[in-house]
Amino acid sequence: MSNEIREFTEFKSKFTLRIQKKLEGVLSLEDNSIGILDAMRYSSLNGGKFIRALLVYSTADAFKINVKLLDQVAISIELIHAYSLIHDDLPSMDNDTIRRGVPSCHIAFSESTAILAGDALQALAFEILSENKYKGISDNMRLRWINYLSSSIGAAGIAGGQYLDLLINNKSTELEYLNYIYSLKTSSLIKSCIILPAMLTKNITKDEFLKLEEFASILGISFQIKDDLLGYMCSSTTLGKTQGKDEQRNQPNYINLLGLGKTEKKLEENKKCIDKLLKDLALEKSMLHNISNYIFNRSF
């Protein structure tokens, strides 16, 4: 095992445990008098990889930011991700019965409970992000965080992307339009994982910030392309969700538009591009480089 892989493995273990404990803490503080917390916990703590939180902490490491200043960001983004998966699986959306190897939230509880649990997770995310916990985070910074994150999940982000994704079901589409959908439904939240921490940096130029945004955008789209590839190649057991779901729904994705070989080539091209961007930012040996390798090389 190389030093780089060993370092990232240790980093991943450390911060996976950190975000798990943080999520357990915020979800145990909620009033469970009406029982909705069970569904919220089920969807937030049940076997996730916490890649988005790891991206937050990797960015903090790359820019030498005290990680405790970014716990709120990591927690909020993971809660939003959990909410988006609950709603994504609903019968009126992708109608998937398996998530992370167990029954989807609406199957384990009920459709109405799943909807409300998702709503509650989104609300909790912004409650946490708005808390005045550290002197190192100004009121203005929290407002900037809230503004950026809320825009990334609305009509110009996750919600808009999911809407367009449903529109192209059973229809042909162009690759450029599919990329646009991926930039909204997946890349927008990935970008938040990197840009919100970067807002705390004081010595980054406008050009460097734009390059970081480009890196985050390409990484986010590549994340979804990799999901397309894994959905085609891996079993439901490995994926933790239904294998070949897009094919069952006749949903356009990279595999059925480009084929296996060209999809793999596109990922290779994207990886070269983000490696160059990281080198331009003098971050080629950072945790951001390590976690991008992990995202491109993951098997589920």
Report the CATH number at residue 68: 1.10.600.10
The residue that leads in pLDDT, 250 or 40, is 40
In order of 206, 271, 276, the CA distances from 212 in angstroms are 10, 14, 11
Residue whose tokens read 């162009």: 174
132 lies in which domain range? 3-297
Task: Return d(Cα 63, Cα 66) in angstroms, integer.
Answer: 9
Tokens of 45: 């703590």
pLDDT of residue 135: 85
Q: 98 by DSSP, 3-state: which?
A: strand
**Alpha carbon 97 to chain centroid, angstroms:** 20
Q: Provide the number of structural domains found in the chain.
A: 1
* pLDDT tens by residue, 72-127: 999 999 999 999 999 999 999 988 988 888 999 999 999 999 999 999 999 999 99
Task: Return d(Cα 291, Cα 294) in angstroms, integer.
Answer: 5
Question: Is 0.95 surpassed by the pTM of this model?
Answer: no
* Dihedral angle sign, alpha carbons of residues 211, 217, 219, 225: negative
Burial letters for 10-37: b for 16+ Cβ neighbours within 10 Å, e otherwise? ebbeebbebbbebbeebbeeeeeeeebb
